[in-house]
Amino acid sequence: MNDLIPILHNIILPALAGGLISIAVIGVFSVIKKLKGEIRMRSERNLDIHHFTYICEYQNLKPMIEDKQAIRLRVLALLYKFVDADTRKWVDLRDLCSRNGISGDEFTKAHQFLEDAALIRPYGAGYTSMITHQGIVAIEAAYKSPERSSQYFPAINDIEVSNGTVEKL
């Protein structure tokens, strides 16, 4: 920005004082061009900083995202197994999950996600639920290709198994 002051003092002001408008206009254009270049450079620097921040935040969020996806996978796998992949059978999913070590807030969040994604649907009151056709397709795809992640779940092969956290179908 400081290098624009000589252009202002040496070209634009004397040209205006001497009535040389065309030279003043050229000076104004060179100021604008310099300002655009400086703004672009600052934007690129800010973009790099934002990109770096995004990558750092993603690295911090990645384990959390994978944990939530693994819990959702367990909930859906339990339901799939219990109802024997039948879209007409229902179960108290909260009770089923709590007997299998998933309860409280992690169950509630997983249940809501699965319902919002139309992988399960409510039946009656409380957490009584049924698996949907989409839920069956999603769970079977996850287990059919355990090395690949899917739209809803991480790759089954990448999930750490401790205390039977991943249901084998």
Write down the pTM of the prediction. Answer: 0.62
Cβ 120 vs Cβ 110: under 8 Å = no
What are the backbone dihedrals phi and psi of residue 63, each rounded to the nearest 5 degrees, phi first?
A: -65, -35
pLDDT at residue 162 in the model: 46
Span between the terminal Cα atoms of the chain, in Å: 66
Class of domain 65-158: mainly alpha
89-148 per-position pLDDT tens digit: 999 999 999 999 998 999 999 999 999 999 999 998 889 999 999 999 999 999 999 999
Alpha carbon separation from 148 to 21, 127, 145 (Å, rounded): 68, 30, 6
Q: How far apart are alpha carbons 150 and 159 in whole angstroms?
A: 13
Cβ 80 vs Cβ 108: under 8 Å = no
Spatial CB neighbours of 89, under 8 Å, sequence gap ≥ 6:
82, 83, 130
Domain boundaries, the chain: 65-158
Percentage of the residues of the chain whose pLDDT score is greater than 90: 46
Q: Kindly state the greatest CA–CA separation across the chain.
A: 92
Cβ 21 vs Cβ 15: under 8 Å = yes
Band of residue 50 on the pLDDT scale cut at 50, 70, 90: low
